[in-house]
């Protein structure tokens, strides 16, 4: 039990030593490059791309509804109850 407690006491020290080794070390004194003037932040790109996608989604839904109504109306045109009754003369067959 004492051995386990001793190991547990060493864990935070090891973790702290590990964190300190993860810190960046100073490198050569290179000048910091300025960001590319053409590059946009990702948030801007997402915000610019969102409205066209929403418009496309709503437009697709509207087009679907229009095509569905068009097909239903075309069926109504060719349904038999609205077509005129054609009277054919009977031919004399002998």
Report pLDDT digits (tens) over 68-86.
Answer: 999 998 888 777 666 677 8
Q: What is the DSSP letter of 85?
A: P
pTM of the entire predicted model: 0.41
27 or 17: which carries more pLDDT confidence? 27
Q: How many CB atoms lie within 10 A of CB 90?
A: 6
Whole-number pLDDT of residue 15: 46
User: What's the CA gap between 82 and 74, in Å, rounded?
Assistant: 12
- Cα distance between residue 42 and residue 22, in whole Å: 28
pLDDT at 39: 72
């Amino acid at each position: 039990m004492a051995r386990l407690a001793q190991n547990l006491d060493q864990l935070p020290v090891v973790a702290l030593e590990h964190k300190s080794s993860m810190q960046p070390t100073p490198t050569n004194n290179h000048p910091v490059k300025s960001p590319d003037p053409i590059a946009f932040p990702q948030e801007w790109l997402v915000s610019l791309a969102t409205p066209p996608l929403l418009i496309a989604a709503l437009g697709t839904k509207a087009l679907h509804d229009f095509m569905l109504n068009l097909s239903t109306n075309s069926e109504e045109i060719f349904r038999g109850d609205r077509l005129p009754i054609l009277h054919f003369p009977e031919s004399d067959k002998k």
